[in-house]
Chain A
Amino acid sequence: MAEVYGLDVKAKVLGNGLKVVVLEDHSTPTATFQVWYKVGSRNEVSGRTGISHLLEHMMFKGTEKYGPGEFSKVVARNGGVENAFTSRDYTAYFENWASDRLKVSMELESDRMRNLTLDPQEFEREKQVVMEERRLRTEDDPVSLLVEEVFATAYKVHPYHWPVIGWMSDIKSITLEDLKRHYKTYYAPNNAVVVVVGDVDAQQVFRQMEKYFGALSKGEEPPPVASVEPPQRGEKRVTVVGAEARLSFVMLAFHVPSINSGEEYALAVLTNILGEGKSSHLHQRLVYEEKAAVFTSAHYQGMSKDPGLLYLYAGLVPGRSPKDVEVVIREEVVKMKRGEFTTRELEKAKNQVKAAFIYGLDSNFYRAMNMGKLEVLGVGWEYMQTYVKKIGMVTRDDVVRVAKKYLKDTNLTVGILVPEKNL
C-alpha cells in the first residue's frame, strides 16, 4: 500500500512570490482551485478582532471589474461550487468545478487578490450579516460559548485568546480604513499559496498562473506575530452559566506544542488512545462504565501555526455532576502518564491514522485542503508524505513522555458549562 502515500506534487514560485502547488489526478474531469492567504485571527490585535473573517466576507463584494455578487454569479453559471473559510492561522477561498473552468478561477481570484473595491455601504451591511453569524454560531450556542471562554482563559497574551469571528463590539467598531489596511498588508501574491488538484496538466497550470497572476505586484513582507504565550503557572478554571443550556459539559484543555515541534506525532497518538472514538479510554470509562456521559471526545490542535491546545470533553447524562466527571477524566489522564495502556491500543491509534489518511485521499477537495494548510503553516505539502510513517514510529515511551510533560495541572484550564436551570 506504500504507493498511495507518495504524491506526485509539482510546485513553482512565481516572480512575485506566489507559490503554486499542483497535484494531477485524472480520475474524474474535475478540479479544485484554492487560494490560501497567510492571515487569520492570529494576525489581529485587540479592538479589531474578527477583521480577517470580515474581510473574507467582503471578498465577495466586488472589484472594479466584477461588481458585488458578480463573482458568485459567474461561478454558479459555470457549474462551480465556491466558498471561503477563515481560521486562526489562514483564510482560504475555493472553487470546485469541471477542470476546463480553471481559467475562470484564475481570472476571478487574481482580480480580487489586489483589486477589491471595499465599498462603505456594502461594508456596513456585511457587518450586520457577520453579527448575525456570531449570534447563530456562538451567542445562542452554550457549548460554543464555553469553548470561547476556555480559549480566552487558557491564552492571556497570544492572539489565540480571541475567537476567529471576533468579539461583538469589535465587529461593530471596525472601520473601513482598518479593513483596507488589513487587505493591503496581507492580500498579496507573496503572502499566498495557490493549490490545484484534479484533472489538469501541471505545466499548463504554471503557464496560465503566470499569465493571470504573474503581473500582480509583490507586497511588503507582513509583520510577524510577536506575542508569545508565557508558560502557565497554575491551573485555571472558568464556568459558563448557560441560560438555554440543558446538559452540563466539562472540558479540560492543556497547552501543547503543535506542528513541526517533533512531538506532534506522539501527542496525536496520545489523544487518540485517550479520547478518540468509542474504544478510547474516556468513552469506555465515562459512557460504558460510569454511565455518566452521553458523549466524550478529544481533540489535539496539531495543525496549528503556534502552540495550540489538547482538549478533552464530555457531555453529561442529566443528573450527573460535572465535578465527578472531571475527577474521572483526571484519573484517565494520570493513567496515560503511568503508561497504563496496551500495545494493541498503540497499534490501534496508528491503524486509525493510516486508514483516515487513505479515506481522505478520495476527494480532490480534501487533498488540496491538507496541502494548502501545510503550505501556509510553513511545513509544506511534503509533510503529508511522511506523516503516516512518523506516526508509525511513535513508541510507548514517546506517548508517556509527552503525557508527563504536557498533561500537568499547572498547564491545565478547566471549563464547566452549567445549565442555569440546575442552579
Chain B
Amino acid sequence: MRKGVPIFLTGVLMMAVFQARADIVPQVFTAERGETVWLVTRTSLPFVVIKVLVRAGSVYDTDDKAGVAYLVSQLLPEGAGDMTGPQISQALDYMGSDLDTGCTKEYATLTLVTLKEHLKESFRILSLVLSRPAFREEDFERVRKEVLGELLKEEEDPGTVASRAFDEHLFRGHPYHRPEKGYYKTVESITLKDVKGFYRRFYRPNFSIFSVAGDITRKEMEGLMDVYLKDWLPSDRPLPSIPDPLPLGKTEKVVLDKAVTQANIVMGHLGVKRGHPDFVKVYVMNQILGGGGLTSRLFLKVREEGGYSYSVYSYFQPSYWRGAFKIVLQTKNDQAQAAIDEVVEVLRDYKDNGPTAQELEDAKRYLTGSFPLRLDTNQEIADYMAFAALHNLGPDYFVRFPKEIKAVSLEDVKEAAREYLHPDRLLEVVVKGPSSP
C-alpha cells in the first residue's frame, strides 16, 4: 500500500496558481413590462441560448393540488396562440431549434437554443408558449397522464425515492417538503381550471428573468421582446411570502424497504440559503468535506479507503429559502450501517478540527481555477446568469465570486464547520432491500 508516502512536488507541478479570468460582464437591464434581462454577447458561433426563468415553482402549489406548477410547465409547449403542440415541435425541429421547459421547487424554466438565422421565428414561438399558452382540454388530459407515468417511473429509482423522503421529513410544514411533480393522488385531482389559475397568477413578466448568451446584442433582444411580448401583462400583486423552513431539532431515521441490491442513503440537516452572508465560506468548507473532484474527505474515506461506495458527495443547496445540507451515497444492503458510521465519523472529526491549511489552499485553487471552465459555453453562461439574477448576486458576480473564495481564511472554514455541521442532529434516510451475499 502506498498510503502516506510523501510526495515532493517539483518543477511543473508547483507553478503559480492560475488566476481565474472573468471575461463575463453581462449587461443587466429591466425590459418594458418588468422582465429582468441578463445578456452576454458572444459572436464566435452563429447561435443563441435564451433561458427564461419564471418564479412559478412548486413552492407555490398547495398541498392538496401538489403538481400544478410542474403540469403547467409541461403543458406550455403543447399548444399556444394558433399553433398546436405538433405544429410547434415541427416548426422548431425544422429549424434545428430546441425548446425545453421544466420546473423546480423554486422556478419554472423555458430554454431556447437556436441558430442566429432562425432567431426571430424561434423567439416568436418561445413568446407564444410563454405568454399565450392554449391549455386545451385534450392536451391537458394527455399530459396529465404522462406526468402520472413519470411519477410512477420515479418510484423505480431508489435514489429519487430516498431524496424525496428526505425532503418530506426535513422540510415538514414548509412548501419545500413536496416533490416538484407532486403526488399521484394530487395530480389525479388537478383540473384545467387549477392549471389556468396558476398560470395567470405566476407567469408574469415582472416575475421573470431572461438570461441570454450568444450571437445577439441588447438592441436585438429588446427589439424581439417589444414585438413578441408586448401583450404579456405584468402582475400588480407581489409574489406570496414564504418563510424559511425551521430545523427539526432532533435526530430522525427513516428506513424504506424496496427490492434493490444497494442501500441508497441520504443524510443531512438544514443548511444556509444562497443569500446568506456566510454562504461562500460554507461552500468552501463543504468542498473539502464532500465537494466536486476526486479528493474530498468523504470521497477518500468512504470510497478510496473503505471501498463502500461508487459515488459519495455532500452539498449545501444554493437555495432561495433555507435549504438542505445533504450527504448522498450508495452501498450494498448489508453494509449500510457501516458506511453511515464512516460518514458520521468524518463529519465529527471535520466539525471538531476543521481542515488543514493545505486542504484549504488546494480547495481554493480548485474552485477558483475551475470556475472559468464552468462558463465556457453559451448554455453554461445562460444557466449561471439566471442563477445569479435569481439570487440578486449582481452583474459583477463572475468577477467577484473567485475573489470571495480567495478571501476565505482557515479560521472562517473552521468556524463554518463548527456552526453549520451537526452530526448529532442528522436526518438519515435509507432505502434498502434485504441483505444479500
Chain A residues within CB distance 8 Å of chain B? 1, 4, 27-30, 60, 62, 66-70, 72-83, 96-98, 100-101, 103-104, 107, 117, 119, 121-122, 124-133, 135-136, 139-143, 242-247, 277-279, 283-284, 287-288, 291, 294-295, 315-318, 344, 347-348, 351-356, 358-359, 361-364
CB distance from A291 to the nearest CB of B (A): 5
A68/B94 in contact, CB under 8 A: no
- Extra inter-chain contacts (13) besides given A62-B2, A141-B156, A348-B94, CB under 8 Å: A60-B294, A67-B5, A72-B294, A78-B13, A79-B17, A81-B293, A103-B12, A132-B330, A136-B310, A244-B260, A279-B92, A355-B47, A362-B376
CB distance from B92 to the nearest CB of A (A): 8
A78/B260 in contact, CB under 8 A: no
Residues of the B chain whose Cβ atoms lie less than 8 Å from the Cβ of A277: 89, 93
A96/B95 in contact, CB under 8 A: no
Q: Give how many A-B residue pairs fall within 8 Å (CB-CB).
A: 230
Residues of the A chain whose Cβ atoms lie less than 8 Å from the Cβ of B145: 291, 317-318
Residues of the B chain whose Cβ atoms lie less than 8 Å from the Cβ of A66: 7
Contacts A317-B146, A351-B95 given; indicate if A364 touches B376 (C-beta within 8 A): yes
Q: Tell which of B18, B150, B378 touches A101, judged by Cβ atoms closer than 8 Å.
A: B18
18 cross-chain CB contacts under 8 A: A28-B23, A28-B376, A74-B13, A79-B17, A81-B373, A107-B11, A121-B1, A125-B304, A140-B158, A245-B156, A247-B149, A279-B94, A287-B146, A294-B150, A317-B145, A353-B96, A356-B96, A362-B376
Contacts A277-B89, A279-B89 given; indicate if A142 touches B156 (C-beta within 8 A): yes
Residues of the A chain whose Cβ atoms lie less than 8 Å from the Cβ of B90: 279, 348
Residues of the B chain whose Cβ atoms lie less than 8 Å from the Cβ of A62: 2
Contacts A67-B7, A80-B370, A132-B308 given; indicate if A318 touches B149 (C-beta within 8 A): yes
Identify which of residues 250-309 in chain B touch chain A, using a CB-to-CB cut-off of 8 Å. 258-262, 292-295, 300, 303-309
Q: Does B155 contact A (CB under 8 A)?
A: yes
Q: Does B177 contact A (CB under 8 A)?
A: no
A76/B152 in contact, CB under 8 A: no
Q: Does B240 contact A (CB under 8 A)?
A: no
- Per the bound structure, the CA–CA distance linking A401 and B23 in Å amounts to 51
CB distance from B378 to the nearest CB of A (A): 6
Determine the residue in chain B with the shortest Cβ distance to A212.
B12
A69/B300 in contact, CB under 8 A: yes
Residues of the B chain whose Cβ atoms lie less than 8 Å from the Cβ of A355: 47, 95-97, 115
Q: Does B366 contact A (CB under 8 A)?
A: yes
Q: Tell me which of B9, B97, B304 has the highest count of chain A C-beta atoms within 10 A of its own C-beta.
A: B304
Contacts A28-B372, A132-B308, A133-B310 given; indicate if A354 touches B94 (C-beta within 8 A): no
Contacts A30-B376, A294-B150, A355-B95 given; indicate if A68 touches B2 (C-beta within 8 A): yes
Q: Which 6 A-B pairs have the closest CB atoms?
A: A79-B369, A355-B96, A278-B89, A128-B307, A294-B149, A133-B310
State the interface size on chain B (CB cutoff 8 A): 80
- Per the bound structure, the CA–CA distance linking A356 and B308 in Å amounts to 40
- Per the bound structure, the CA–CA distance linking A62 and B294 in Å amounts to 14
A68/B18 in contact, CB under 8 A: no
Q: Tell which of B152, B260, B292, B376 touches A246, judged by Cβ atoms closer than 8 Å.
A: B152
Q: Tell me which of A29, A130, A136 has the highest count of chain B C-beta atoms within 10 A of its own C-beta.
A: A136
CB distance from B364 to the nearest CB of A (A): 9
A141/B262 in contact, CB under 8 A: no
